[in-house]
Amino acid sequence: MTWDEMTPLLWEAAGQTAQMVGWSTLFTLLFGLPLGVALVVFDRGGLRPLPALRSVLGVLVNVGRSLPFIVLMIAIIPFTRLVVGTTIGTAAVVVPLTVGAVPFFARLVETALREVGSDVVQAAQAMGASRTTIVRKVLLPEAFPGLVAGLTVTVVALIGYSAMAGTIGGGGLGDLAVRYGYQRFETLLMIVTVVVLVVIVQVVQSLGDALARRLSHR
C-alpha cells in the first residue's frame, strides 16, 4: 500500500476516533463529574453525609471499574440499543465508552476533590456558604488542576478503549490497524497507525499537563 492510498484511510479513521473520543469525553464529564462530587459530598464527614446512598454509588462505581472494557461493551449491548436504537456505528460505540469511562473518571474526580483542604471548606462554612456554594465555588475551583489532570488521563484511556470499541463498528484508528494491518498483512499501515496513536496520546497528555500546571496556584 502506498502513502497516497494510506492517507485518506488514516484521515478517515482519525476522524472517527476523534468523534468517538470527543462525544464520550463530553458525556463522561456530564455524568462522571456529578458522580465524583456525590462520592465526596455524601461520604461520612462530607458536606451532606448520606452513607447508605454513598455505599450504593461506591459499589456501582467499583462494579463498573472492575469489568474489563471488552466484556462491558458486550454486556451492555441491550442498553446501547435502548439508548441509540442500534448497536453498530460511531454513535453506538459512544455508549459503552461512556459507561466504561464514567466510573473511572468519577474516582479521579473524587480523589481530586479530596485533595482540597478541609480548612478551606470549613472556612467557607464559617462564612455561611451553603453546600451548593461550597461545591461550586470552593471544591470544584480548588480542585480544578486535579480535575484537568484526571480528565486528561480519562481521554487517554478513552483513546485506548475506542480502539477496542472500533472493532464493533465504530471504525477509528484501532479498527484500521486491526483490519488492514492484522487481517490483511499491511504491516506498514499498522506501524503508521500505531505511531499516529502514540503521537495523539502524547499531544493530549502534554496539553493536559501544561493546562493543569498553568491553572495551579500553589
Partner 1 sequence: MWGFLVIQVSGLRKLYGDTVALDGVDLRVREGEIYGVLGQSGAGKSTLLRCVNLLERPTAGTVTVAGQDLTALPSRELNRARQRIGMIHQHFALLSSRTVAGNVAFPLEVMGVPRAERARRVAELLDLVGLSGRGGDHPHQLSGGQKQRVGIARALAGNPSVLLSDEATSALDPATTRSVLDLLKRLNAELGLTILLITHEMNVVKSVCDSVAIMSGGRIEESGAIADLIRTPGSRLTREIFPLPEPAPSGSVTLTFTGDPQRPVVSEAVRKFDVEISILGGSIEELAGGSVGRLRVSITGDTAPALAFLRERGLLVEVTP
Q: Which residues bind partner 1 (CB under 8 A)?
A: 117, 119-120, 122-130, 133, 137-138, 141-142, 144, 216-218
165, with CB counted inside 10 A (0-12, 13-18, 19+), is: buried
For partner 1, give the closer residue by CB, 178 or 215. 215
Question: Would you say 180 and 187 are in contact if contact means Cβ atoms under 8 Å apart?
Answer: no
Could you tell me the smallest distance in angstroms from the CB atom of residue 65 to partner 1? 29
Distances (CA, A) of 75 to 67, 72, 87, 181: 10, 5, 12, 28
Please report how close the Cβ of residue 117 comes to partner 1 at its closest, in angstroms.
7
Angle of helix 3-41 relative to helix 90-114, nearest 10 degrees, comes to: 40
Residue nearer to partner 1 on the CB measure, 22 or 141 = 141
Provide the 3-class DSSP secondary structure of residue 165: helix
Cβ proximity to partner 1, 55 vs 122, nearer residue: 122
Helix or strand or coil: residue 128?
coil
Q: Which is nearer to partner 1, 184 or 213 (CB)?
A: 213
Minimum distance of partner 1 from residue 123's CB (angstroms): 4
CB of 64 to partner 1, least distance (A): 30
Q: Which three cell numbers stand for residue 5?
A: 492510498
Minimum separation from the CB atom of position 104 to partner 1 (A): 25
| Chain-centre distance for alpha carbon 85 | 23
Question: Given 3-state DSSP classes, what are the helix, strand and coil percentages for the chain, each rounded to the nearest 5?
Answer: 85, 0, 15
Query: Which CB, 6 or 215, lies closer to partner 1?
Result: 215
